[in-house]
Amino acid sequence: MMGFIWFWLVAVMIVGYVVLDGFDLGVGVLHLFLARNEAERGATLRSIGPVWDGNEVWLLAGGGTLYFAFPLLYASAFSGFYLPLMIVLWLLILRGVSLELRNHLDMGVWLGLLDGIFGLASAMLTIFFGAALANVLRGVPLQADGYFFLPLWTNWQPGTNPGILDWYTVIGGLVALVALTLHGALWLTIKTSGELEQRARKVVTPLWLLLIVFTVVSLIATMAVRPTSLDNYYRYPVTFIVPVGVIASLAAIWLLNRKGQAVKAFLASCLYLFFMLAGACWGVYPTLLPATTGAQNDITLSRALSGPHTLAVGLAWWSFGMTLALAYVIFVYSRFRGKADAGVESH
């Protein structure tokens, strides 16, 4: 029972990070394309300014929870994924540094450089996060001792000895790029006004169409690469509500954006991300990290779980800590109301 609880607690924290940090990653991707002048670029950055660094805390909290609840998985994954984790770390650093320095350097050439770094780092992060999830679904070359190493790429084919990037993980990266860019566009329709808001609203439809295509392609590819991904759904047919939720949330995004109901369209995008990630988690459960070298090397829930006393005590402290974190999130977002208008320093 404890294993089931902690599996979904970690999953919820990952979903929380993707939903919260996802929109400011999407805003970063759109930063160079939607804004036409410095005033509009300032507005896009102010739309995420008070919350972007707080959103990234959920990534650290998720990693800490993973270390506490599933130490074997943490040890294997963080050593085997060492190369992509270092790339992600540098992208997070570049993104944060470029955003902070932009507030202190008021020179055209530097602003252009920092804007480019911020946009590129945001786009690359979305791709690497999507590819990371695809790596987990596909499996990694785990050995009997739980060790593995992945090069950046091998022959671009999923198999016994794959790389971080192959045709399947690239599809995962593209799904994440389009989904989070759409998420960011919907956020901008809430937080900006005037022509910038209208451009953000117009870009939603082409991104939505791309997302439908990539979602279908990714689901077909997942069933081809991991045929057992539907086993839990057939075993518990009620869980087919997850793919139904994916379809319903996609339809709601288009319909609500067309009606100009920005907040509801954004919440529908949150639901899409939730159902996609929940579906991925359910597709591998109770395996935490599949092995391409044979099912005997899989890191499973029972194999990776911490001791019962540790989990029971940790659940109490986790609940206390998450209550404080949620209270902080509610407070910050309740204070962060209104629109970040172009040419206005505050809102």
Is residue 31 classed as helix, strand or coil in its secondary structure? Answer: helix
pLDDT band at 30 (very low <50, low <70, confident <90, very high): very high
Q: Quick one: tokens of 147?
A: 């060790």
Q: What is the mean pLDDT of residues 155-168?
A: 89
The full DSSP string for 167-188 is HHHHHHHHHHHHHHHHHHHHHH
* pLDDT given at position 343: 54
**CA 146 – CA 293 distance, rounded (Å):** 11
What Å distances lie between residue 208 and 6, 180, 185, 204, CA to CA? 33, 11, 11, 6
* pLDDT given at position 341: 67
First to last CA, the chain: 47
pLDDT for 344 beyond 60: no
- The CA-CA-CA angle for residues 177, 51, 347, to 5°, reads 110
Q: What is the mean pLDDT of residues 114-139?
A: 93
Q: What is the mean pLDDT of residues 36-63?
A: 85
Is residue 240 classed as helix, strand or coil in its secondary structure? Answer: helix
* pLDDT given at position 336: 82
Cβ-based neighbours of 260, under 8 Å, separated by 6 or more: 201
**CA 268 – CA 274 distance, rounded (Å):** 10
ω before 286 within 30° of 0 (cis)? yes
Report the b/e string of 132-163 with b at 16+ CB within 10 A. bbbbbbbbbbbeeebebebeeeeeeebeeebb
Q: What is the mean pLDDT of residues 243-250?
A: 96
Residues 252 and 268: beta-carbon distance below 8 Å: yes
**CA 340 – CA 170 distance, rounded (Å):** 34
pTM as predicted:
0.92
Is residue 60 classed as helix, strand or coil in its secondary structure? Answer: helix
Q: What is the mean pLDDT of residues 111-121?
A: 90
* pLDDT given at position 346: 46
Mean pLDDT of the chain: 89
pLDDT for 59 beyond 80: yes
Phi, psi of 205 (to 5 degrees): -65, -50
pLDDT for 108 beyond 80: no
Q: What is the mean pLDDT of residues 104-114?
A: 79
Most confident of 31-40, 83-92, 172-181, 291-300: 172-181
Provide the sign of the torsion angle of the four alpha carbons 22, 248, 229, 237, taken in this order: positive
pLDDT for 99 beyond 70: yes
**Percent of all residues in the chain with a pLDDT value above 90, rounded to a whole number:** 48
More confident residue, 101 or 134: 134
**CA 314 – CA 319 distance, rounded (Å):** 8
Angle between helix axes 71-80 and 52-69 (nearest 10 degrees) is 120
Biggest alpha carbon–alpha carbon distance for the chain:
61
pLDDT for 310 beyond 90: no
pLDDT band at 342 (very low <50, low <70, confident <90, very high): low
Cβ-based neighbours of 106, under 8 Å, separated by 6 or more: none
ω before 141 within 30° of 0 (cis)? no
